[in-house]
Amino acid sequence: MRCTTTLITLLTTLCATPVLAHSDGMAFDASAFLGDPQVVDCTLEDGTASTCFEFTVAALPEELEIGPFCPATLDDVGGLWQWDGENPGLYRLDRAFFEMLDAQGFTFYDDTGAVAVTDIRLDQPTADHACLSASLAPDVTMTIRLPMEPRMAQAPTPLGTVAKVGVGLDGVPIFADAPSVLERDHLPALDVCGGHIDPGGWYHWHATATDMATVLENEGVEADCAAVVQNAAAPFGFAFDGYPMFGSTEPDGGVPEGLDACGGHVGTTAHGETYHYHASQSFPNLPACLVGVVAQDNFATTAAQGIGAANPRGGPGGPDAGEMPPGFDAAAETLGVDPETLFEALNAAGGPEADLSEVAATLGVTEDALRTALPARR
């Protein structure tokens, strides 16, 4: 295949073996990759034949410190959560927050003040309302594809719950909003940098972590994302459509102007005039949609479950791992689909964090019908 200079100039120095991180800071950290990145033939989701930058990353970068997530008791302080019920906003996971939720009918703790915490990589919650905090599976890897020649889609693609947004320059995947407690009953806690561990055992962002200081100040939350260098003007990563993502300011510290509905515009970067996304100053500070066309099969993981799993059979572990939970046969019959089809659609879309609108579209049913038919999520 003939070497070309397109998006790869933003990502790497092309036509070198191995492909090396670009020296101007726009490229991925050299330590992000497991093995040598590759340039491969790929197909975009609009059917266009293209080439993609393909690379594999670890479940967690070696030097990245994550947490805290769920507090053990009301006297402890955990990570963050964007509450969308009464008194909405970004909160620390502390006594005041959980007591506020209790007043709204969501009780996450017992009479002793112990918070119900579940490791959803290994088990399902038994409490009506549990704080979810998955454990890391260090051997899990993810393989990611980004188009080398970004192309605008005919219309932007909205990013729903847990939708794939992109990948950070440190190799950490980036996903859209975490599931709402109002819809799922449980709370998949985020750490103070806006990330958490997937049920498959790998860490991912739900925020532009390099600009969390701006968000925390704007939202009036006392926290410090010390694990990631804070710089509102810095590049953060690349969206799955191949366009770069930056913090909430221009490189010179100015306010971005003329942003579109996705939070991006064409402007001057280190690589000339190019389309790029900017973080917002409120949580979640990610693009609301993607303007470009993503590659097919752009995210795969060796994890046994969760988003991108090759064989997403069964939910979180325990004695019944690999078995469909009670009630799925009845739900499938109600929806007029095969139970295996229903179960695999849920797991392929994220398991316990599945975006039900995505699952409904896969199954050809309405989201309301799907929610009504499914057994209660515990």
Q: Are 234 and 247 contacting, i.e. CB atoms less than 8 angstroms apart?
A: yes
**Residues 77-123: tens digit of each pLDDT:** 999 999 999 999 999 999 999 999 999 999 999 999 999 999 999 99
Q: Is the pLDDT of residue 358 over 90?
A: no
Q: Is the pLDDT of residue 15 over 60?
A: no
* Cis preceding linkage at 375, omega within 30: no
pLDDT on residue 18: 30
Confidence band (pLDDT; 50, 70, 90) for 17? very low
**Residues 39-65: tens digit of each pLDDT:** 999 999 999 999 999 999 999 999 999
Give the integer Cα–Cα distance in Å for 191 and 70.
8
Tell me what the pLDDT averaged over the chain comes to.
85
pLDDT on residue 164: 94
pLDDT on residue 4: 33
pLDDT on residue 237: 93
Which range, of 10-19, 27-36, 44-53, 204-213, averages the lowest pLDDT?
10-19
pLDDT on residue 57: 96
Q: Note the pTM of the prediction, 2 decimals.
A: 0.80
> From the CB of residue 148, how many other CB atoms can be counted at a distance below 10 Å?
25
Specify the DSSP element, H or E, that contains 353. none
Specify the residue for token string 């899990």: 140
Percent of the chain with pLDDT over 70: 81
Give the integer Cα–Cα distance in Å for 295 and 167.
14
Q: Is the pLDDT of residue 6 over 60?
A: no
Confidence band (pLDDT; 50, 70, 90) for 21? very low
66 vs 162, which has greater pLDDT? 66
CB under 8 Å to 142, separation ≥6 — which residues?
56, 57, 59, 173, 202, 299, 300, 301, 302, 308
**Residues 149-196: tens digit of each pLDDT:** 899 999 999 998 888 999 999 999 999 988 899 988 999 999 999 999
Q: At what angle do helices 339-348 and 356-363 cross, to 10 degrees?
A: 140
pLDDT on residue 24: 34
Which range, of 207-211, 259-263, 313-317, 350-354, averages the lowest pLDDT?
313-317
Which range, of 40-54, 200-214, 316-330, averages the lowest pLDDT?
316-330
Q: Is the pLDDT of residue 333 over 70?
A: no
What backbone phi and psi angles, to 5 degrees, belong to 140?
-70, 140
311 vs 210, which has greater pLDDT? 210
HSE (CB half, 13 Å, CA atoms) of 6? Answer: 16
